[in-house]
């Protein structure tokens, strides 16, 4: 069980709740902080002070004072008006991550909301009541207003939700789970809407998959190196130590481990006329390592964000002040997700170049054209490479940054936006495409290694080869490969090639 206290959460902790349905519990310390911050809000109301988000309108309408009698209606209107997202819903895993992260932000005790808000989100999470959250509609300025409004709509018993995979009215889902809809009080609608938890949730789960992809790229690359009778000399620890980027060092160590005890390597250790391999083989530590470092940076940003108060205004119980700021702006996440998508495009480009070398008879070191034993009659892996090129083209489009765009909103009050949700959605797509490209490389490289038999590849490559053969037999004759590529992509996602 994960205890929520407003702390920073690791990507793995998010994944356990999102994917494995680990239960969540709000700590007593968090409840006490939330109660203390709520008392500050109530004191403001009792004193008749004007504070943004407590008794005013929002955005451009912040100058409009709202009467005490209308504060509940103000919060409900805020939720209803902002729930206008479009597009397909976030996945159940992403939705669970949104609920987790939003509850954790409230647990910080800086939002001025009653503990019951966080408790309700936790109860929904544990019961499997998942709001239907459209993936499009956020510009990441005052956070993810539209996506989070759909969460808040469910909290008040409106909108739609799923329960045990069935889509229904949110009121019905809450009733079946014995969860009472809330009547929002002053500031509480805003406390649910302001924040970056939708983009953080989508991006966090995508990043965890991306880290897996980076490690699998080493596996696929090592198998290709063996099939092409390449040399691991470029991965020598002395070379890597001369340029000690952490990711480069990790990738080189991983590659050498995968290639250890290779009989294929021993077969061309001496009297090989080749001096050095192509960059897509020789520079794997440098490129794969740079990707690892980019993803580590993105991880640090996301994990910092998970324990951050990102709504507005914030309530500080030490001084009984409510201060307006801009922690809801998604720039840190947007830039990190764009960086990660760019990094993955480099990783996929290296993989595509290695696939080309495997199938091209002018480059594949004596392997049959397109790795078929009957070239001409059969096309072998010719179109598998074409598919990889198609996927890579889409990845390059997704590598274009969302965060460089800016279209002011809210009558120019929100005059710089992050487009962080767009960046997160792009990253998710980029990861899926990278998994498919690496699946193609694994499929083709496994075939190439077969042609080097009876010589055995390195121990790690041999394990990877066996894993490929669990999903795809050797290509004795032409056959449709779509299902096998997809099966290998899913195996990558499950961790079967994280060797």
DSSP annotation of 268: T
Contact 33, 109 (CB under 8 A): yes
CA–CA separation, 16 vs 97, rounded Å? 10
**DSSP state, residue 70:** G
- CB within 8 Å of 113: residues ≥ 6 apart: 34, 37, 38, 106, 187, 188, 191, 192
CA atoms within 13 A on the CB side of 30: 23
**Strand partners of residue 143:** 195
For the chain, the distance separating the N- and C-terminal CA atoms, rounded to the nearest angstrom, is: 28
Would residue 52 show up in a list of annotated catalytic residues for this protein?
yes
- Parallel, antiparallel, or unpaired for β 134-136 and 86-89? antiparallel
**3-class SS of residue 402:** coil
Nearest 10 degrees: Cα torsion 197, 203, 205, 209: -170
Contact in structure between 74 and 66 (CB atoms under 8 Å): yes
Coil, strand or helix: which one is 133?
coil
Distance of alpha carbon 253 from alpha carbon 374, whole angstroms: 38
Strand ranges, E, within 54-186? 86-89, 129-131, 134-136, 160-163, 166-169
Which regions of 272-389 does DSSP assign to beta strands (E)? 314-316, 321-323
Are the CB atoms for 494 and 449 separated by under 8 Å? no
Task: Tell me the pairing of strands 160-163 and 86-89.
Answer: unpaired
Contact 351, 387 (CB under 8 A): no
Report the phi/psi class of residue 417: left, alpha or beta, with left for phi > 0 and alpha for psi in -120 to 50.
Answer: beta
Q: Residues 17, 24, 40, 52: which is the catalytic one? A: 52
Burial grade of 387 (CB within 10 A; 0-12, 13-18, 19 or more): middle
Q: Are 56 and 50 in contact (CB under 8 A)?
A: yes
Catalytic residues, which ones?
A: 52
């Amino acid at each position: 069980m994960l205890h929520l206290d407003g702390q920073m959460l690791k990507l793995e902790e998010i994944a356990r709740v999102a994917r494995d349905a680990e239960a969540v519990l709000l700590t007593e310390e968090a409840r006490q902080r939330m109660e203390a911050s709520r008392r500050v809000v109530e004191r403001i109301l009792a004193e008749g002070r004007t504070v943004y988000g407590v008794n005013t309108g929002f955005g451009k309408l912040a100058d409009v004072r709202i009467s005490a009698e209308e504060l509940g209606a103000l919060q409900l209107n805020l939720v209803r008006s902002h729930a206008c997202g479009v597009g397909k819903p976030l996945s159940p895993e992403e939705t669970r991550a949104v609920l987790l992260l939003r509850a954790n932000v409230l647990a910080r005790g800086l939002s001025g909301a009653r503990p019951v808000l966080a408790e309700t989100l936790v109860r929904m999470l544990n019961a499997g009541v998942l709001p239907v959250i459209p993936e499009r509609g956020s510009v990441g300025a005052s956070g993810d207003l539209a996506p989070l409004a759909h969460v808040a709509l469910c909290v008040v018993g409106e909108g739609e939700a799923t329960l045990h995979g069935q889509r229904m009215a949110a009121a019905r889902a809450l009733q079946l789970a014995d969860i009472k809809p809330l009547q929002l009080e002053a500031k509480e609608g805003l406390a649910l809407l302001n924040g970056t938890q939708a983009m953080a949730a989508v991006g966090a789960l995508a990043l965890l998959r991306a880290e897996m992809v980076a490690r699998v790229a080493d596996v696929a690359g090592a198998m290709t190196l063996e099939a092409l009778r390449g040399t691991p000399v470029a991965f020598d620890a002395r070379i890597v130590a001369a340029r000690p980027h952490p990711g480069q060092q990790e990738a080189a160590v991983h590659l050498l481990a995968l290639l250890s005890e290779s009989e294929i390597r021993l077969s061309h250790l001496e009297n090989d006329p080749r001096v050095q391999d192509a960059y897509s083989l020789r520079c794997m530590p440098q490129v794969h390592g740079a990707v690892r470092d980019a993803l580590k940076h993105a991880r640090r940003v996301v994990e910092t964000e998970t324990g951050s108060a990102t709504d507005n205004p914030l309530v500080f119980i030490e001084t009984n002040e409510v201060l307006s700021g801009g922690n809801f702006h998604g720039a840190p996440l947007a830039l990190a997700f764009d960086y990660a998508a760019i990094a993955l495009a480099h990783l996929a480009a290296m993989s595509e170049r290695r696939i080309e070398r495997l199938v091209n008879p002018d480059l594949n070191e004596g392997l049959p054209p397109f790795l078929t034993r009957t070239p001409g009659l059969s096309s072998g892996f010719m179109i598998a490479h074409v598919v990889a090129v198609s996927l890579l083209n889409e990845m390059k489009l997704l590598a274009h940054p969302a965060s460089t765009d800016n279209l002011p909103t809210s009558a120019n009050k929100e005059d710089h936006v992050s487009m962080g949700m767009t960046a997160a959605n792009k990253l998710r797509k980029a990861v899926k495409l990278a998994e498919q490209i690496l699946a193609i490389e694994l499929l083709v490289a496994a075939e190439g290694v077969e042609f080097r038999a009876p010589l055995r590849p390195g121990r790690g490559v041999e394990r990877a080869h066996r894993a490929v053969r669990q999903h795809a037999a050797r290509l004795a004759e032409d056959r449709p490969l779509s299902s096998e590529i997809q099966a290998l992509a899913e195996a990558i996602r499950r961790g079967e090639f994280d060797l």
